[in-house]
Structure 1
Amino acid sequence: MIAKLESVPDGTTATFERHFKHSVTSVWAYLTDNDLLPEWFSELRVKELRNGGSMVFDMRDGNLIEMRITACKPASVLEYSWGEDKVRFELDAEPEGCRLLLIETIGTLTDHTPKDLAGWHVCLDVIAALLDGGVFQDRKRAWEQQYETYVALVEEYRLS
């Protein structure tokens, strides 16, 4: 399932929706537990998990970028800055597991936007594999395939 792009007052939202046959608590752990985060996003860590706290992005060149947490409701909502934009995760229990929405609010679409969207898409696929006890093979190839999809999606959206 590819992201859905929508125009909003402060730019564009890209919404990814996933349904997992796992509890909200299990999915929340992958988003917030520093022991699990590296399994799907090696550069990302939680510094302080609370409203006003922060996430840290390791640029792998000696630089750490601190991203402010703007919304945090345990096992429900996690939102933080993502450069000039923001990323929001929403979790809701369902009869057979949970629904995850990842909503990236993008101020300005750029040539880099499809790269980020493909990255988030693959990250969610990796989380799904990990939750199911599997291993995700060849992230680079998966990203390359998704990147082409998101280049087309962003272009179509711009033209609409």
Structure 2
Amino acid sequence: MANETLRTIEGRSVLRMERRLRHSAEKVWRALTEPEQLGRWFPASVNLQPRIGSTVEYLMDGEPAGGGEVLEFDPPRVFAITWNGEVLRWELLPADGGCLLVMSHTFDDRFGAASFASGWTLCLDGMEMVLDGKSIDVEPDTGSLHDRFVELLGLNQGSAEQTPDGWSVRFERQLTRPAEVVWSHLPSEGTVIERSEPKVLDYELSGGGRVRWELTQGTGHGARLILTQSGLSSPDEALTTWRHRLDELAADLLSTPPAQRNDGPSEGGAADTR
């Protein structure tokens, strides 16, 4: 992994990734825009016409998977399409021995960025194999690639807010295992106020303050965790402590075998980054 960034532009998250390729821009362009080639490494089969404003249709396992339109089509330099309101853009720049592919993905779910980044990494690996004339053979991500992107993109950082009842800290994190698995790793501490397995664990701490764990639907990797602690006199220690604890939780989850899923490209199909 290199040169991956996550920014907020006009209120939306923009993931940017670079890949240096040993092929001409013209060849890479065909892999990006010709539906037969695109469908070999992209997360879905794609039907489109090569012109700005044309409709894009997506299919996964033969079933409709949303739609979009062509926003930019400037061969062999820029190709941009929408998918269910998200924007995918590829730019090809000159580079010694080939070209530089710059990909950006614009979306609303900031905390899904690690799932998107790990999925696109495997998809781009698959695209390189297509360009090299090889059969696609990419190992699915069991969670380690995803969690490396959580760290790299700063998605393990919490936020703090001052309220009339003191400071509150909040963490939102995409995990790599389903809620049922995550639930068994949650701590048993304090006086329980609410317990709804495997969705909510809310308790008061003996020293004061309240902690709430919520497990909701996440991206393709697993459950989305939202953790809050309220009633704090200062947020600093809690932000540091919970970041370390959630990093440890994520590492523990990696030792749990993942449920079967398709996170990597295969011949005739690609990773589900969504």
Matched AA of 2:117: L
Counterpart of 2:73? 72
Which sections of structure 2, spanning at least 5 residues, go unmatched?
A: 160-274
How far residue 121 of structure 1 moved from its aligned partner, in angstroms, is 1.2
Which sections of structure 1, spanning at least 5 residues, go unmatched?
A: none
The structure with the largest alpha-carbon Rg is: 2
How far residue 60 of structure 1 moved from its aligned partner, in angstroms, is 2.7
Q: Indicate the SS of the match to 1:7.
A: strand
Matched AA of 2:149: Y
Counterpart of 1:95? 96
How far residue 124 of structure 1 moved from its aligned partner, in angstroms, is 0.9
How far residue 104 of structure 1 moved from its aligned partner, in angstroms, is 0.8
| Structure with higher helix content | 1
Q: 1:72 to 1:159 in 2, by over 3 A?
A: farther
Counterpart of 1:85? 86
Length, aligned pairs only: 158
The Cα RMSD (Å) is: 2.4
How far residue 42 of structure 1 moved from its aligned partner, in angstroms, is 5.7
- Kept in 1, the 8 Å contact 2:90–2:102? The answer is yes
Q: Indicate the SS of the match to 1:52.
A: coil
Counterpart of 2:45? 44
% identical equivalent positions:
23
Counterpart of 1:20? 21
Counterpart of 1:125? 125
1:94-127, Cα deviation, whole Å (9 max, x unpaired):
23111100011123314x4322221111111111
1:31-70, Cα deviation, whole Å (9 max, x unpaired):
1112211221262313212110133211336324221111
| Higher RCO (C-alpha under 8 Å, 6+ residues apart) | 1
Matched AA of 1:151: V
Q: Indicate the SS of the match to 1:140.
A: coil
- Kept in 2, the 8 Å contact 1:43–1:59? The answer is yes
1:1-52, Cα deviation, whole Å (9 max, x unpaired):
2421122223221111011111001101111112211221262313212110
CA distance in 2, matches of 1:99, 1:130: 16
